[in-house]
């Protein structure tokens, strides 16, 4: 589709969905963002919905400034996936044992490890840079230094909410039935702790006093506050990337233990809550993607649906009108509270038929019916990405 433009904003706010379908709260957030003096432009993805501080599904290009709320509290949250040599015919009819093996290998929900994972003991894991990475912890915001042991013990753990681990089957094409492994997670509690501290600092800065929404407070280039935030931001983004790498390596080990003949392709990984330094029309900007992936020309990305509807592996088209971005998923169409009031465990079981997963009250808020139609979302961004593979989960692990 071609994008629409929200009216009455200083900077262009381009929208890859019908503007009239955007919930009023989210539309108000987007207009507020478009009025900020540092904003070069905004691209709004088809999975857009209201978010704390800044809109989920928003890509914001700023000159010499960055808003920590436009990144979100789960800094570096994103996706990883790898295609295997297995096919559906290799999998047993009963997948409950595979699901239990995954849950035994990777702590989920609020669980953490009894002791930190040793990267040298994880088969297939990148070995470089671990010592230097952890040594940088002492330079982070002083309010989190007491959390080092917790951060170490949460490395290689999933978390809860919309985070998941899946075994998927490729749909259609010459590789129909090929098994993929996929996971979605972020920087765990340490990213949240860092984000909330910096958001509080930004709200108190004098240049943010007159903003239409103090949650959109920014740090300015050349200030100590900006330097401190970027230091912690880069570290948290690396934490999230390494966290997914550990889990993917452990997941591959679980599958290898059950299917010794398995081989793996090169993994795909992408953040969808993060900051990047990029240049458009000769202007250097800081691009925040909150609920959006980078979709540069030829770049591979992952766009998941909900726990019963499948996901897409995509290749970016490099559309600069969208700051080379695409959606990060289907996007919620109702809040978690509304989902719990609207659906039952029977509804959950019906909507996840054929998927080995939790079907209890603890995950009703993640029911497919609480999300937008992933196929409709994909249809709205054909100028942003092309589909490489359509996947459907057969195992889904939730926290």
pLDDT at position 52: 84
Question: Among candidates 20, 38, 14, 49, which has minimal Cα distance to 333?
Answer: 49
Q: Measured between alpha carbons, how far is 91 from 216 in angstroms, rounded to an integer?
A: 48
User: 276, 350, 268, 273: which is closest to 312 by C-alpha?
Assistant: 268
Identify the pLDDT of residue 204: 96
Other Cβ atoms closer than 10 A to 111: 15
DSSP lists the bridge partners of residue 73 as: none
SS3 122: coil
Token output for 117: 């994972």
What pLDDT is attached to residue 1? 60
Choosing from 49, 198, 271, 328, which is the catalytic residue? Answer: 328
User: How much is the pLDDT for 86?
Assistant: 98
Q: Are 70 and 288 in contact (CB under 8 A)?
A: yes
DSSP code, position 74: S
The annotation status of 328 as a binding-site residue, yes or no, is yes
The pLDDT score that the predictor gives to residue 2 is 79
Asked if residue 211 lies in contact with residue 217, where contact means CB atoms within 8 angstroms, the answer is: yes
Contact 325, 292 (CB under 8 A): yes
Per-position pLDDT tens, the chain of length 399: 679 999 999 999 999 999 999 999 999 999 999 999 999 999 999 999 999 889 999 999 999 999 999 999 999 999 999 999 999 999 999 999 999 999 999 999 999 999 999 999 999 999 999 999 999 999 999 999 999 999 999 999 999 999 999 999 999 999 999 999 999 999 999 999 999 999 999 999 999 999 989 899 999 999 999 999 999 999 999 999 999 999 999 999 999 999 999 999 999 999 999 999 999 999 999 999 999 999 999 999 999 999 989 999 999 999 999 999 999 999 999 999 999 999 999 999 999 999 999 999 999 999 999 999 999 999 999 999 999 999 999 999 998
- Which pLDDT value is given to residue 233? 98
List, as one string, the DSSP characters of 219-271. Answer: EETTSHHHHHHHHHHHHHHHHHHHHHHHHHHHHHHHHHHH-TT--B---EEEE
Give the domains, in start order, of the chain with CATH numbers: 4-333+371-398 (3.90.1860.10)
4-10: Cβ within 8 A, 24+ apart: 6/30, 6/31, 6/34, 6/44, 9/34, 9/35, 9/42, 10/34, 10/35, 10/36, 10/37, 10/39
Q: What is the largest CA-CA distance in the chain?
A: 63
Whether 163 has a binding-site annotation, put simply, is: yes
Q: Residue 360: is it exposed, middle or buried by C-beta count within 10 angstroms (0-12/13-18/19+)?
A: exposed
- Residue 289 is predicted with a pLDDT of 98
| pTM of this structure | 0.96
- Give CA–CA dist 151/302, Å, rounded: 26
CA distance 11 to 262: 51
> Cα(284)–Cα(65) distance, rounded to whole angstroms?
11
Helix, strand, coil proportions of the chain in percent (round to 5)?
35, 25, 35
Residue 272, annotated ligand binder? yes
The answer on whether 184 is annotated among ligand-binding residues is yes
Dihedral in degrees, nearest 10, Cα atoms 105, 111, 113, 116? 110
The DSSP letter of residue 121 is G
Note if 207 is an active site residue. no
> Can you give the pLDDT at residue 354?
96
User: Annotated binding residue at 164?
Assistant: yes
Helix or strand (DSSP H, E) at 80? strand 78-87
């Amino acid at each position: 589709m071609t994008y629409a433009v929200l009216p009455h904003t200083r900077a262009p706010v381009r929208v890859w969905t019908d503007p009239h379908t955007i919930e009023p709260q989210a539309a108000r957030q987007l207009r507020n963002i478009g009025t900020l003096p540092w904003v070069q432009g905004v691209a709004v993805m088809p999975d857009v919905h209201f978010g704390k501080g800044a809109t989920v599904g928003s890509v914001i290009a700023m000159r010499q400034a960055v808003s920590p709320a436009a990144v979100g509290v789960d800094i570096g949250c994103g996706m990883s996936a790898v295609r295997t040599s297995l096919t559906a015919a290799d999998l047993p009819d009963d997948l409950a044992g595979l699901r239990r093996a995954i849950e035994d290998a990777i702590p989920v929900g609020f669980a953490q490890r009894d002791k930190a994972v040793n990267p040298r003991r994880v088969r297939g894991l990148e070995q470089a840079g671990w010592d230097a990475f952890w040594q940088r912890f002492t330079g982070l915001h002083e309010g989190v230094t007491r959390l080092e042991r917790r951060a170490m013990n949460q490395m290689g753990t999933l978390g809860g909410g919309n985070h998941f681990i899946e075994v998927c089957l490729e749909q259609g094409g010459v590789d129909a039935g090929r098994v993929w492994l996929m996971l979605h997670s972020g920087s765990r509690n340490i990213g949240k702790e860092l984000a909330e501290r910096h958001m509080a600092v930004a709200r108190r800065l004098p240049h943010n006093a007159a903003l239409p929404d103090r949650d959109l407070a920014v740090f300015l280039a050349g200030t100590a506050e900006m330097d401190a935030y970027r230091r912690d931001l880069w570290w948290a983004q690396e934490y999230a990337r390494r966290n997914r790498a550990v889990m993917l390596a452990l997941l591959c080990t679980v599958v290898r233990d059950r299917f010794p003949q398995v081989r793996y392709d090169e993994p795909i990984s992408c953040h969808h809550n993060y900051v990047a330094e990029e240049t458009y029309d000769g202007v250097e900007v800081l691009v925040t993607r909150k609920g959006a992936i980078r979709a540069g020309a030829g770049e591979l990305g992952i766009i998941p649906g909900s726990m019963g509807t499948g996901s897409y592996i995509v290749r970016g088209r490099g559309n600069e009108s969208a700051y080379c971005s695409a959606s990060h998923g289907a996007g919620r169409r109702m809040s978690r509270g509304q989902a719990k009031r609207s659906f039952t465990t029977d509804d959950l079981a019906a909507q996840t038929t054929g998927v080995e997963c939790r079907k209890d009250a603890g995950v009703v808020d993640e029911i497919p019916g609480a999300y937008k139609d992933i196929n409709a979302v994909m249809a709205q961004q054909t100028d942003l990405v092309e589909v490489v593979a359509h996947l459907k989960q057969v195992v889904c692990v939730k926290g």
